[in-house]
Amino acid sequence: MDVMILIGSPSDQEIVKDALDTLKAFDVPFALEVTSAHRSPDRTVELVRRGEAEGTEVFIAVAGKAAHLGGVVAAHTTRPVIGVPVESGGLGGLDALLSTVQMPRGVPVATMGTGKTGAANAALLAVQILAVKNAGLRRKLAEFKGRLAAQVEADSEKVKQGQ
Binding residues (CB under 6 A) for ligand RP5: these are 8-9, 11-12, 36, 63-65, 86, 88
Closest distance of CB 66 from ligand RP5, Å: 8
Q: What angle do CA 80, 85, 89 make, to 5 degrees?
A: 155
CB of 58 to ligand RP5, least distance (A): 19
Q: Which is nearer to ligand RP5, 90 or 106 (CB)?
A: 90
Q: Residue with CB nearest ligand RP5?
A: 8
What torsion do the CA atoms of 23, 83, 47, 134 make, to the nearest 10 degrees? 40
Stated as kind and residue range, the H or E segment containing 98 is: helix 94-101
Rounded least distance, CB 161 to ligand RP5, Å:
42
Q: Which CB, 9 or 128, lies closer to ligand RP5?
A: 9
The helix/strand/coil state of 142 is helix
Q: Who's near 147: CB < 8 A, 6+ residues apart?
A: none
